[in-house]
Homo-oligomer: A and B are copies of this chain.
């Protein structure tokens, strides 16, 4: 059902979050809006997906958290990228690109399923 729609999020969520934070620190809610925006709503991130992911990235040292106040005067946890996070983003981007190219190459091969 809504099955094939979402699967590419697997394993690329971290990448999207890191990329979002590569500009400036953001809080979770803003990150999810940023992703929605940057992908023109192709990729949607549920809150139950996002927050665990943020904690995971923080635990691994790619991002750091700090409480602050949002533009709308609300308490918010701002995440910023660490140097390790920047390195991670570069490395993972390269790997993602390589793998995506490999798969795209395979899919491009013509076979008996001429659509």
Contact = CB atoms under 8 A, between A and B. Distances in A.
Interface string A10-41: 11100110010011000000000001001110
Instruction: State the majority secondary structure of interface residues on A.
Output: helix
Contacts of A43: 99, 102-103
Interface stretch (A47-55, A63-71, A107-115): A107-115
Given A4-B91, A22-B111, A97-B104, 17 more contacts: A7-B11, A8-B99, A10-B10, A11-B11, A15-B107, A16-B106, A19-B106, A19-B107, A19-B109, A22-B113, A39-B105, A39-B106, A42-B98, A86-B113, A90-B115, A96-B107, A100-B103
What's the interface size class on A, roughly? 35 or more
Nearest to A95: B4
A7 to B, nearest CB: 4
A46 interface: no
A82 interface: no
A83 B94 CA distance: 36
A14 to B, nearest CB: 9
B7 A102 contact: no
